[in-house]
Amino acid sequence: MTDRLATYDREAEEGIKSGQGRKSSSPETAGMRAALRTPNGRRMFASILNELYFNRSVTAATPEATNALAAVQNKGLDLSSQLKEADPEMFWLMLKENDDA
């Protein structure tokens, strides 16, 4: 298991023990939680996060292009935070199932 997955595993366990991720009952959070509980939903979110440069460095030939990629990556980080908050255990499972390492 990579260090990255070990970190997410630890964070997921802490979130589950403390009850984090189960507090919000917004329709968006409920939808994310429902999707994360299916293999296809986890695969879909992993694909979206991959397209949004989640967990990858962003560099380009020009500073402007790097800034644009960083803005896209910020959206990926926002989405990952929402997913982790919705269901930490399933978020970790999604990362483990789709680990390219």
pLDDT digits (tens, 9 = 90+) for 27-70: 999 999 999 999 999 999 999 999 998 888 888 999 999 999 99
Q: Which amino acid makes up residue 21?
A: G
pTM above 0.85, yes or no: no
Residue 9: what pLDDT? 55
The CA distance from 34 to 42, in Å, is: 10
Q: Which residues form the domain of 14?
A: 3-97
Measured CA to CA, the distance from residue 6 to residue 11 in angstroms comes to: 9
Closest of 95, 97, 90 to residue 32, by C-alpha: 90
Q: Structural domain tally of the chain? A: 1
- For residue 21, is pLDDT > 50? no
SS3 call for 15:
helix
pLDDT tens-digit map of 85-98: 999 999 999 999 98
Per-residue pLDDT, 101? 45
